[in-house]
Structure 1
Amino acid sequence: MKPLQIELELQNNQIKRIKNISDGVRLIIEGKSYFFQGGYLLPGFIDSHLHLFGIGENEIVPNFKDITSAEEIISNIKDSPFFRNNWITGFGWNEENFADKKLPDKRMLDLAFPNIPVCLKRVDGHAVWVNSIALQIAGISKHPTGILVDTAKDNVLNLIPKYSNSQIIKMILKAQEILFQFGITEVCDMDTDPELIEIYKNLDNENALQIKVHSYISAQYDDYLRYISQPYLGNMFSIEGIKLFADGALGSRGASLFEPYNDDANNSGKIQIQPELLYKKMQVAIDLGFQIATHAIGDNANHIILDLYQKLSQKYINKDIILRVEHCQMVHPKDLIKFSNPRIFASVQPIHYVSDTKGMAQSRIGKRLEYSYPWKSIINYGGTLLSGSDAPIESPDPILGLDALIHSERPDQILDMESAIDTYITNPRKLFRNNSNNQINQNNLPFSETNFVILNNDLSQKSFNRTYVVATIANGNIVYIDNKYGVINE
């Protein structure tokens, strides 16, 4: 898929006419013409893995992502604490940014906040740093460090008072605004809290939701079954599947590996749910009609999930099922062939490669980096690659993801530009139940809906590093314009 210079007429959220031109993009919407000199058009980007509510929440909760010491984090909190009722919360700390690379400790928080519970999420969302009073409230006694990883962290997170509905709505709409700036018109919202379902439905019914949201409901603890019993298809909000976790993250050493971590010889990570129970959870969801999306980062976790998916594929040989592996960061070469199964989709976040290899990946897994982030290998085995960002953990900007895919430091994993674009536009559409509206083909470019992004150039190598989004069109309406570009109203 390539960006096009094109004239496109839209009326009543339908494509009426398409014409190739040579000097930019001309949009005619309800009779009004907009000309983007030198611009190029693509269908809107689809982020296949992010956390929509988290993006909006990240705009109001203190973010410590760029802070280089635990002491500075505490100082920032003292200056401007963020309270959820009587709890202090925050997000984004990363010990890899600290000079000593050491995990922070509860005693530091105890000295600063002896009587106020504090819970600060790590940048990957898989660990929290808490003080003694938070541990006490959670009924956790004699914990040595106050660092809780993966399922252990939920004992504290579940006690923090919830946001009000009005706060949640504000965060969702803020996330929508942010994503439009990056040309994203459709998302897979991962690990959606079941309690948000009615809020999303109401926003959809009120036409406030302009970005298309495909939800994968948090299903680690089965409580989702109290809220839904089948997939849901609204106008802009749908429930496509469930989200499970096989393991944790590399950063917090929770990803499940075949062999121990290079920098922690007694730790190989942990499988969060035993395979037999995971398989039963997947069966229940498939019988109800849901897609399965399972977080798997370590090579052992990916091996287990791919084997479970093969087993499910054989069991449901006559049923249309979709099985997603989320992250696929470490896949042993012997397991790559399993992605040739057309029911299995590899959902990757290319920007993680950039962050991880600049940071902790070498110290965590050493030579195993050679078979990690195997994007091109998955495609070579006939697999379908989906790209996303994992925002707010990373920037949602698809241009950064494309950059990682086409400029990887590993020549054997570099994608050509058209294949890279497909991971953000064409491939994700294979997942969705309602993707045939108004199908028009122009130069092999599927315009299945009136969602588009206009870029300032054609994404060629010579201009790629100067690429930015000029405008975003969602449901036939311009929802974002970069005012610096100089759009001509004709």
Structure 2
Amino acid sequence: MLHAPGTLTVFLNARILTLDPRRPTAAAMAVQDGLILAVGTQEEMLALAGPEAALVDLQGQVVLPGFHDSHMHLLSWGLTMDGVQLTGVRSMRELIAEGQAYIRDNPGRQWIIGRGFSDEVFTPRRLPTREDLDQISTVHPIIFTRVCGHICSVNSRALELAGINGETADPAGGRIDRDPATGQPTGVLRENAMDLVTRLLPSPTVEDYKRAICRAGTEAAALGLTTVQTNDLHGASGLQDRLQAYLDLDQAGQLPLRIILQASTPTLEDLRAYAEIYRSCQPGAQLKLGPVKLYADGSLGGRTAALSLPYADAPETDGVLIYQQAELDALVCTAAEYDLQVAVHAIGDAALDQVLNSCERARERHPNWSWRPRVIHAQITRYDQLERMARLGVVADIQPIFVPTDLHFVERRVGATLAQYAYAWKTMQRLGIRTAGGSDCPVEPCNPLAGLHAALTRQDGTGYPPGGWQPQERLTIEEALQLFSSGPAYAAHEEHLKGTLSPGKLADFVVLPADPAALDPWELLDLKVSAAYVGGLQMSP
């Protein structure tokens, strides 16, 4: 639905939930030049509308601020759509069969790339090895990435091409799994060890990236997302083509939603390169550059999240810290020097200790830093750390959609002591920690309505456990809606533009057939988005 620039559009006959406490509900909204001009009664908005105004009858539907995902991987999601789809496999046999079928259906593929399996649902629970993947092919190199994105399994051909053998040393911040009897690599690579193989993959072109962005972005918009913060820029070497793809799409008006890019900068060289681009790159119509993204540890599923205690189900390890404290300090302090926001992946409590130390030191050395550092995930936390986060003003980027999967293994994995304040969303809010909701897609689906359901119930898809896992950490519907609206806006320094339907803010909103607050939480899983608007223009369906 397109209107000429300057046209005043009035959206009528709606139940508008503004999430603005100054005027929480309205029946109509006036939009002009991509901004909200006013909200109020139907009579008030019609009085604003001259004879040239466009009128849109929403037929009694519910309007909310557009959903906002604070952390995902949009481009990676789009690229995985062309690979082996492993999300639904329930056994090693199914995984092997999917790989074999993919080769039959895609005879021209050189590398066989898949993502999405979880060994937690396999019997027995174990990661695929080179021997398993060799049953798919010994001719094609194969790389299958676990759902978490922090572990991959490769076949013998991929190990050969990468030069990985029994003599290969573990890279810093990574681990090569080895057969204890022979010392030879099993084919399982963790964290930075994955780079030994992934750096051999053919590089997509700018056009490949653009197709992937549009494909994933269109699906995200159909779910009611009007902004996503996406970690799609990787290091100095992999930054230019990906950024160019986004710039081209924005300049052509082809982005189906707003994009805030996060940039992984694992080295000081990468960080400084991004800082120069950040300084020179002007925000576009629907695109802006966002924070530096750092990784402090790995994942719970792969037992690479860094814990202060040994893993309860693997006491020989306490996870992987990607950096020494001094190395992380240098990265965060350099970001502060350039006045760049930092968003640091930290799942385990040992990693969170490191991150909070680095942020505190950076603020001491650079008191004029714009601040608002972010911890992405913050899954295994201690109460003293949550108090410290609140005191420092650190934002927590949380993913409620993780809980339906993770609740089945968290306590078994980390033990009762560390599980006590795991995924502690209500405690965070009670302490005053600002929280922003996301999905980490493609780790989990980016459906915000499923995220709301998880935040409200803390149950899996069968309703287990009754009452929810650690039910004291469940959120109210008001708190959950803010997770996917005003929370991410604050995290991105955009609370003046997004998060509520208030005069002067961007006209980004979602239309639903029913009020989420009036539904049983389980009905949210069946609720379908009627339309998503960005700048007052309908982007989906």
TM beyond 0.5: yes
Deviation at 1:156, TM superposition (A): 0.6
Q: Does 1:203 align with 2:244?
A: no
1:89-168 pair list within 5 angstroms: 89-142=113-166, 143-168=184-209
1:277-292 pair list within 5 angstroms: 277-292=327-342
Runs of at least 5 residues in structure 1 that lack an aligned partner in the other structure: 23-27, 482-490
Pair 317,84 (structure 1): closer, same or farther in 2 beyond 3 Å: farther
Give the Cα separation in 2 of the matches to 1:197 and 1:141: 35
**In the alignment, what sits opposite 1:253?**
303
Deviations 1:202-253 (A, max 9, x none): 2111211241111110111343534551354412211121111110000011
Residue type at the aligned position of 1:114: T
- For 2:221, which of 180, 199, 202 is the aligned residue? 180
Residue type at the aligned position of 2:535: N
Contact 2:159–2:187, Cα closer than 8 Å, also in 1: yes
Contact 2:306–2:319, Cα closer than 8 Å, also in 1: yes
- What SS does structure 1 have at the residue aligned with 2:429? helix
Deviations 1:26-47 (A, max 9, x none): xx99844332333111111110
Give the Cα separation in 2 of the matches to 1:318 and 1:77: 53
Q: Does 1:300 align with 2:350?
A: yes
Give the Cα separation in 2 of the matches to 1:38 and 1:100: 52
Residue type at the aligned position of 2:316: N
**In the alignment, what sits opposite 1:484?**
none
Give the Cα separation in 2 of the matches to 1:342 and 1:191: 28
Contact 1:91–1:123, Cα closer than 8 Å, also in 2: yes
- What SS does structure 1 have at the residue aligned with 2:78? helix
Deviation at 1:90, TM superposition (A): 0.8
Deviations 1:2-34 (A, max 9, x none): 884521232332334423359xxxxx9984433
Residue type at the aligned position of 2:270: D
**In the alignment, what sits opposite 1:57?**
79
Deviations 1:332-373 (A, max 9, x none): 112111122354111110111221013x32321131322100
**In the alignment, what sits opposite 2:90?**
68
Give the Cα separation in 2 of the matches to 1:431 and 1:182: 21
- For 1:361, which of 391, 410, 420 is the aligned residue? 410
1:84-483 pair list within 5 angstroms: 86-142=110-166, 143-193=184-234, 194-195=239-240, 196-221=242-267, 222-226=269-273, 228-229=275-276, 230-231=278-279, 232-235=281-284, 236-341=286-391, 343-358=393-408, 360-367=409-416, 368-408=418-458, 409=468, 410-432=470-492, 436=496, 448-460=505-517, 462-467=519-524, 468=527, 469-481=529-541
Deviates more, 1:54-63 or 1:240-249: 54-63
Give the Cα separation in 1 of the matches to 2:323 and 2:209: 30
- For 1:20, which of 41, 44, 47 is the aligned residue? 41
Give the Cα separation in 1 of the matches to 2:385 and 2:492: 26
TM-score, scaled to structure 1: 0.90
Give the Cα separation in 1 of the matches to 2:450 and 2:312: 29
Runs of at least 5 residues in structure 2 that lack an aligned partner in the other structure: 1-18, 44-48, 167-183, 459-467
Identity of aligned residues (%): 28
Deviations 1:451-490 (A, max 9, x none): 1011222222544433422211112111114xxxxxxxxx
Deviations 1:126-172 (A, max 9, x none): 01110112112112113431000101111111111111222211110
Deviation at 1:447, TM superposition (A): 6.2
Contact 1:69–1:99, Cα closer than 8 Å, also in 2: yes
Deviates more, 1:464-473 or 1:117-126: 464-473
TM-score, scaled to structure 2: 0.82
Deviations 1:415-457 (A, max 9, x none): 22222211211122223356545x9987xx5762011011222
Contact 1:324–1:347, Cα closer than 8 Å, also in 2: yes
Alignment RMSD (CA, Å): 2.4
Residue type at the aligned position of 2:412: S
**In the alignment, what sits opposite 1:79?**
101
- What SS does structure 2 have at the residue aligned with 1:307? helix
Deviation at 1:179, TM superposition (A): 0.9
Contact 2:485–2:499, Cα closer than 8 Å, also in 1: no
Give the Cα separation in 2 of the matches to 1:76 and 1:401: 28
Contact 2:339–2:369, Cα closer than 8 Å, also in 1: no
Give the Cα separation in 1 of the matches to 2:254 and 2:496: 23
Pair 342,456 (structure 1): closer, same or farther in 2 beyond 3 Å: farther
Give the Cα separation in 2 of the matches to 1:433 and 1:401: 22
Residue type at the aligned position of 1:158: R
Give the Cα separation in 1 of the matches to 2:438 and 2:307: 23
Pair 447,393 (structure 1): closer, same or farther in 2 beyond 3 Å: farther
Contact 1:115–1:133, Cα closer than 8 Å, also in 2: yes
**In the alignment, what sits opposite 1:485?**
none
Aligned residues: 472
